[in-house]
Amino acid sequence: SAVISQKPSRDICQRGTSLTIQCQVDSQVTMMFWYRQQPGQSLTLIATANQGSEATYESGFVIDKFPISRPNLTFSTLTVSNMSPEDSSIYLCSVADTAKNIQYFGAGTRLSVL
């Protein structure tokens, strides 16, 4: 299994500001995923981040709002830009074990926007 560390674990931000969330994996992985989990809801995929290429965004999510970096095979960042209260959510990073088709998740970043 993979060990995933996310920072920060939580934050309270003012509207109009941006927050960058970091995700560190203890092994090299090709694909990393960013999810949003709104209060009491399931997980919604924001984008898939491949090292060396542009991230692939799901319908309803755009790069200007959620820019992603993937500088190497163990690290990725997700930025939530120009935040509004509607962005209050848990943001989760995950990686896939392609041999087992299982995803491993970080503990998440709990974001509150005032």
Instruction: Kindly list the residues in this chain that would bind other proteins in the complex (CB under 8 A).
Output: 4, 30-31, 33, 41-45, 48, 92, 94, 96, 98, 101-108
- Spatial strand order in the sheet of 19-25: 4-7, 19-25, 75-80, 68-72
Nearest approach, Cβ of 113 to other proteins (angstroms)? 19
- In the complex with other proteins, which residue's Cβ is closer, 14 or 59? 59
Task: Please confirm whether the linkage preceding 8 is cis (ω < 30° from 0).
Answer: yes
Spatial CA neighbour of 112 closest among 22, 15, 39, 13: 13
Pairing of strands 43-50, 75-80: unpaired
Cβ-based nearer residue to other proteins, 29 or 113: 29
Minimum CB separation of residue 47 from other proteins in Å reads: 11
* Cβ closest to other proteins, residue 72 vs residue 98: 98
Q: Cβ 8 to other proteins, closest distance in Å?
A: 13
